[in-house]
A and B are shown apart, each in its own frame.
Chain A
Amino acid sequence: MGHKEDLFQNLDAAIPGLRRYARALCPGDGSAAADELVQAALERVATKIKAKTLGIGEDDAARLCAYASLTALAREKSGGSSVPRPCEREQIVAQGLANLPFVERASLLLVVLEGLSYDAAAGVVAVPREALVVQLMRARAALSSVDLRPPAPPMDGVRRAGAHLRVIK
């Protein structure tokens, strides 16, 4: 009983990270759709905990299971296609992510954004560790062509000044 409660607490604690991962994994879908994914994943894991089908003995089991469920749901939602979706904020990084194939995107985010080890991330994506590293390499290579420098701040003051000031000699 106590262990089950621990699993639930771990699951609760994983919610912020799951939301972040979902938002990045589905960059064009918006926050509401991402939260729905998280909720579906959480409920899937909760069902497993209550059915005692979740691996016991590993403290991070609930969290990793949630990431795996979320990844599977997102993959199902995308239909396995890698067709990029338009980005809601038109941000370069998000657009670069959206252009990646799903598994590459998931692998990169799990390792970089969520801090999962290669082994844990491979388990979540359901590929061998070596395959995960290959996905990482491809994702990084693809993103290398994207200019990740933050956009230059708009020179509002200059533009505005030029827009409404007139030279009167």
Chain B
Amino acid sequence: MPSDSVEEADLHALVDGEISAERRRKIEDHLLQHPEDAAQVENWRRQNAALRALYAPVAKETPPLSLRNAAHRNAAAGPAPIETGAIHWGRPSNSSRTVRRLDEVREARRKKAIISSLLTLLAGAVLAGAAVFAITHAGVSRGSVPQVTFAQGYVDRADVSYLTYVRDSKPIDIGADRMGDLIAALKLRVGFARAPDLSSVGLRLLGGRVAPGLLAPAGFLVYENDNGARVALYFERAEAGPAPRIAPRVDSSLTAIEWRGAGMAFVLIGPLGSEAMQISAERAAAEILAPALNEAPYP
């Protein structure tokens, strides 16, 4: 027990550093004469060391993102930042809340998140239903007026082939120097084996390939003018295909002209102007309709 001049509080103050140097010396002298008090002080120091050892690592952890700037927010500043990409069910941020309230707020936010998720799913279902209705009823609502929808036209298929192949470093499979192989491949796969000669309109045949068609394999011939502009002739058997477009389709970069002939659907597509493309298409159509003249250069 502490002596008359040294209270138990003094021993605690010694352990906690809450004592002057002069008083410290006096208490240490007391401990030398009272080993039971010295043992008590040593026990408290062990307690301190055990506590610090247990919790010191916490202070070395990197604080969560929500805490790093929490000191700069107040109740009006909104919720804490979301720390992960996981679903965030809410985080308390109002400084006036009690901890008991925090649990209630988290529960309320969780419910709100669940309701929000359900509403999102419902909205998605409504949109999907509307899309299905629009697709399945589009033809019916337009009655007897023939329409070529964007996804079903030969022009669109030709457009896809043009964007896929012509801008590729190897736009053709078989070059014009192997015309026999090209004609044979087109005849075998597409059922139509003519390569119109468009040199009279300044388009030189580079070659061709078999491309995916709308209903069957399609022929795809690539031409090039002196300026390096490439024009493609797309053709596919048109027995069951949609009606052709009446007017050329012109967009910001490509002009496409579609016509029918010899049971095939033809689309000439390229970056030339409408007039040049029209002349080239008429030339191609004439070449196709005059097989006797055309077959001579490409046996």
Contact = CB atoms under 8 A, between A and B. Distances in A.
Nearest to A14: B71
B95 interface: yes
B99 A40 contact: yes
Given A19-B63, A39-B80, A73-B98, A113 B51 contact: yes
Contacts of B91: 39
Given A43-B95, A76-B98, A77-B99, A140 B44 contact: yes
A47 B95 contact: yes
Describe B's contact surface by its main secondary structure.
helix
Contact of B97 (A40, A97, A117): A40
A148 B47 contact: yes
A36 B67 CA distance: 9
Interface stretch (B52-60, B172-180, B224-232, B279-287): B52-60
Contacts of A118: 13, 16, 18
Nearest to B60: A16
B43 interface: yes
Given A23-B55, A43-B95, A118-B16, A15 B50 contact: no
A43 B44 CA distance: 35
A38 B9 contact: no
Contacts of B1: none
Interface string B68-82: 101111110000100
A17 B52 CA distance: 12
A46 B80 CA distance: 14
A77 B100 CA distance: 6
Nearest to A140: B44
Given A8-B72, A42-B71, A37 B99 contact: yes
Contact of A11 (B13, B63, B71, B80): B71
Contact of A38 (B51, B60, B67): B67
A124 interface: no
B117 interface: no
Describe A's contact surface by its main secondary structure.
helix
Task: Please list the 5 inter-chain residue pairs (A to B) with the smallest Cβ-Cβ separation, ordered nearest first.
Answer: A43-B95, A16-B59, A77-B99, A11-B71, A20-B58
A133 B9 contact: yes
A148 to B, nearest CB: 4
Nearest to A119: B18
Contact of A112 (B47, B59, B64, B100): B47
Given A19-B63, A112-B16, 11 more contacts: A12-B71, A15-B68, A24-B54, A36-B99, A38-B70, A42-B71, A77-B100, A94-B54, A113-B52, A133-B9, A143-B47
A74 B52 contact: no
20 contacts: A17-B59, A19-B58, A35-B63, A39-B70, A39-B92, A40-B92, A40-B102, A42-B67, A43-B70, A43-B75, A45-B71, A46-B70, A46-B95, A74-B99, A113-B51, A118-B16, A133-B13, A136-B16, A143-B47, A148-B50
